[in-house]
Chains A and B, each alone.
Chain A
């Protein structure tokens, strides 16, 4: 008989080991999936995890790692703050879209003027756009006790419609021969979020992601507010006695994650993507949820998890073009990763005892 015994304290060793175990288990289960799809599993795994880093064209793929990883890390850092306190913002995708719309909106309002202050203004606008979008569920939860999970998610669909409306209407390129989508910001030097070092993939979004990691680390380990966030998640009653004001925490966590998601959207629209279009959003807001959990809600962990997840995106693209692996397969792959992670987490919080079950 196998019995579970709750550990007095979560095991630190297992907390570190479970993400690694989950990745390995996902590779195995993913291999089975690839076999079912009629592909060579070892070749597929190699293409996804090895090719982008050390393959023939790695000089092209390595910068992509930063380009794809930065928005994931940026969003996941914000989400992790709330997740730690039991505040569930799952509408980062919507905040990401709103940040892109407001940021690009500022740029297009100045077009074709050239000035040094346009890009900083866009950054502020992008963060504000995401922040405002996240404040809707935050204020509703604080004022009316509305469930922030449902509201933030509903707003993703609203934002998607708004994005469609913007790319067909207000922000449409007047010289675009009637095609939907805005002007390309890559051709507007004052607004273009170019690589800081040519060809490195290192744009301002990467810098912002690194700053966010450091900021979150300091906040959680060295600051009272970070302590309150952790306390609320781990012992809500104790938090109340300690004088934590839940309303302030909700506003802070949702607001911060919204602003960071908005920033991610802005850096994407002004850099790699270049324009507002109907299919601008690529699901980063949802994948970031996996990143946050895979990184154990820890800033450094999220940084590593974000890079790993970016790797699966890039590797998935390669596998798609070289082996004909369907795009959805990589989505399943990422979903499985979260499954295994949550399942293995039992080892962190419980000890497994083999032996006779005692009679209750």
Chain B
């Protein structure tokens, strides 16, 4: 065992990378849940985004187009969920599970010919001057653009929910859809947009795994990241900045256990690999006492009766 082999600067830098997929997926799901919809299909949308992005990037040679395709893929899959829950008024929990099961199968089918292929590399966005700073430079300022996009989305969602009229309407729909409907807001349309936005974010998160973090395609490669993202929204009490904090925490644990594996700690690899899931459970237990901040209409379907 050689703990000195772990470089704290590299550790923190890779923490940022490891946190980004769940950050993207979780911030998207936060918007969905703020609109009063519980979409448990995050895992399915992520994995479809992962393969859609991967395939597009390989075929076109452009990781950027890959990310666009991933967002589109996630959004298309989430549209299925919207169809089920908003139009057919199906149970949201069951529909979300269906989305995940379907997405896992679909991605495996789409990805058959891409196993073992190497995707085009994404250029690092080294911010001049800042990235040359000692310690802080490699941790904060020498990453790929999508990582910064993730943080920008968090800031955008925060500002949208807190300062804009659109954000207020979104929250109203999530808190009390009947009242929002009575005020003349189009509940179904607003929820549809929220679900599509959430799907696009989850797709981006998935593509970040297959294009940047790993980068290659293997079946079921999201390995529960979508479910951790769902837990993260609860962890964050539906507050955008806390999602960022939570994503860094989970990213940190993932990276740390990988580093400990590499350093050859006396704990068996399998037990280290369990740790992110166990920590998720632990955090959920600690934070689930406070449910006051959950949107009041979360998980309830809306049907205008007259």
Q: Which residues of A contact B (CB under 8 A)?
A: 4, 6, 88, 90, 136, 140, 144-147, 149-151, 153-158, 161-162, 164-165, 168-169, 286, 289-290, 293, 326-336, 338-339, 342-346, 349-350, 358, 360
**Complex contacts, B112 vs chain A, CB 8 Å:** 326, 328
Q: Which residue of B lies closest to A165 (CB)?
A: B270
Q: How far is the CA of A338 from the CA of B274 in the complex (A)?
A: 30
Q: Distance (Å) between the CB of A80 and the closest chain B CB? A: 12
Q: Distance (Å) between the CB of B281 and the closest chain A CB? A: 5
Q: Which residues of B contact A (CB under 8 A)?
A: 40, 80, 83-84, 87-91, 93-95, 97-98, 101-106, 108-109, 112, 219, 223-224, 227-228, 230-231, 234, 268, 270-271, 273-274, 277-278, 280-281, 284-285, 288-289, 291, 303-306
Q: Which residue of A lies closest to B286 (CB)?
A: A144
| Besides the known contacts A144-B288, A161-B273, A290-B101, 16 further A-B residue pairs in the complex with CB atoms under 8 A apart | A4-B89, A144-B285, A147-B288, A153-B227, A154-B280, A158-B274, A158-B277, A164-B270, A289-B97, A289-B101, A326-B108, A335-B101, A338-B101, A342-B95, A343-B83, A343-B90
**Complex contacts, A162 vs chain B, CB 8 Å:** 270, 274
Is B224 touching A154 in the complex (CB atoms < 8 A)? yes
Is B289 touching A343 in the complex (CB atoms < 8 A)? no
**Complex contacts, A136 vs chain B, CB 8 Å:** 281
Q: Which residue of B lies closest to A153 (CB)?
A: B227
**Complex contacts, A335 vs chain B, CB 8 Å:** 98, 101-106
Is B108 touching A150 in the complex (CB atoms < 8 A)? no
Q: How far is the CA of A90 from the CA of B98 in the complex (A)?
A: 12
Q: How far is the CA of A293 from the CA of B211 in the complex (A)?
A: 36
**Complex contacts, B285 vs chain A, CB 8 Å:** 140, 144, 146
Q: Which residue of B lies closest to A329 (CB)?
A: B109
Q: Distance (Å) between the CB of A211 and the closest chain B CB? A: 27
Is A360 touching B304 in the complex (CB atoms < 8 A)? yes
Q: How far is the CA of A328 from the CA of B89 in the complex (A)?
A: 29
**Complex contacts, A140 vs chain B, CB 8 Å:** 281, 284-285
Q: Can you give 17 contacting A-B residue pairs, CB < 8 Å?
A: A145-B289, A149-B40, A150-B230, A150-B234, A151-B281, A153-B227, A157-B274, A158-B274, A165-B268, A168-B270, A331-B105, A334-B101, A334-B105, A336-B102, A338-B98, A338-B101, A360-B306
Q: In terms of DSSP, what is the predominant structure of the interface of chain A?
A: helix
Partner of A326, one of B109, B271, B273: B109
Is B281 touching A346 in the complex (CB atoms < 8 A)? no
Is B91 touching A342 in the complex (CB atoms < 8 A)? yes
**Complex contacts, B230 vs chain A, CB 8 Å:** 150
**Complex contacts, B93 vs chain A, CB 8 Å:** 88, 149
Q: Distance (Å) between the CB of B210 and the closest chain A CB? A: 16
Q: Distance (Å) between the CB of A99 and the closest chain B CB? A: 19
Is B268 touching A345 in the complex (CB atoms < 8 A)? no
